[in-house]
Amino acid sequence: MTKDLNATGRWLKRLTQGLASEPQDRQELLTVLRDAGERGLVDSDALSMIEGVLEVSDLQVRDIMVPRTQMVFIRRDQRAASILPVVVESGHSRFPVMDEDRDDIVGILLAKDLLRLTVEKRERFDIREFMRPALFVPESKRLNVLLREFRRNRNHMAIVVDEYGGVSGLVTIEDVIEQIVGEIDDEFDVEDDLNIRRDAERQFTVRGVTRIAEFNEYFGARLSEEEGFDTVAGLVMKQLGHLPRRGESATIDGFEFRVLRADRRRIEALKVVAPRDVLPPEERAAGGGS
């Protein structure tokens, strides 16, 4: 015990001396912190979060936003009966409400607010009674500044606009926090021991590390294994020609792949919509294709 305390004391003295000499750059600071991690004095998860905090100050909203083409919108004049299926299908909790076009965002609709429709008998639905004000931020805003604004104003979503005032995407507080703490499990994540999960008819959640051979066996598909990639994530990146952001999609052999989770190194999870003539193994076994 005394030995551990002495080791800790020596390292803290070294850290104090290092800070006192004012590290010339971030790399020097990270070197000291990583040395502490190697010695077991700083938990690896804590070290990862510290690095994330430092990185957030360098990232801009454009680096993590969901692009405009992948945003799920609600129209201002849309009827309640047609809004609910969109909410259920997407699995999101917040939706931009547009007026004439996608550059005209008039508010944010929260899925939980629609619960009032199930308990209140209304003769007329007016979406203005349910909308919240929309927060607009420029693409160039730093993530650490955005996080501070989210916390101060209690917002969870912001609409991202370009230099001309047009809508270019959206960003949520979860997107920012995940840059610090890593991926946050939600309804899109697959259990550790399950690479492919069926969510609804023809809709599946697939881990990016799922091997193409496993995917083909599950769906009875014939995705190519001769493209130099072993995983579904690799095949999607090959199709798009780059490491995609969340929300980007690609269609391969009739399967629609949409990125649910991704960072700047890999694709974590994808939403897959299977062709109508493809049956999952349980239905094939039950004779669903006969």
What are the tens digits of pLDDT across the range 49-71?
Answer: 777 777 777 788 988 888 887 78
Per-residue pLDDT at 290: 43
Region of 91 (left: φ > 0; alpha: ψ -120 to 50; beta: rest) is left
Name 60's bridge partners. Answer: 142
Half-sphere exposure of 105 (CA within 13 A, CB side): 28
Give dist(CA 88, CA 227) in Å, integer.
36
Mean of the per-residue pLDDT values of the chain: 79
Q: What is the DSSP letter of 191?
A: P
More confident residue, 37 or 215: 215
**DSSP result, 114-171:** GHHHHHS--SS--GGGTEEPPPEEETT-BHHHHHHHHHHHT-SEEEEE-TTS-EEEEE
C-alpha closest to that of 97 among 118, 119, 114: 114
Span of 50-54, 57-61, 200-204, 210-214 with lowest mean pLDDT: 50-54
Per-residue pLDDT at 254: 92
Instruction: Enumerate long-range contacts of 130-133, CB under 8 Å, 24 or more apart.
Output: 131/97, 131/106, 131/107, 132/107, 132/108, 133/107, 133/108
Per-residue pLDDT at 177: 85
275: which 2 tokens? 């062709």
Question: Is the model's pTM score more than 0.95?
Answer: no
Helix (H) or strand (E) run with residue 201 in it = none
Architecture of the domain made up of 62-181: Roll (3.10)
148: which 2 tokens? 């501070």
Task: State phi, psi for 69 to the nearest 5 degrees.
Answer: -65, -20
Query: Which class would CATH give 196-282?
Result: alpha beta
CA distances from 72 to 26, 98, 153 (A): 39, 10, 23
Per-residue pLDDT at 123: 65
Per-residue pLDDT at 164: 86
Highest mean pLDDT among 114-118, 192-196, 201-205 belongs to: 201-205
Give dist(CA 117, CA 109) in Å, integer.
13
Half-sphere exposure of 257 (CA within 13 A, CB side): 27
Beta-strand runs (E) in 156-278: 157-161, 167-172, 196-200, 203-207, 249-252, 255-262, 267-273
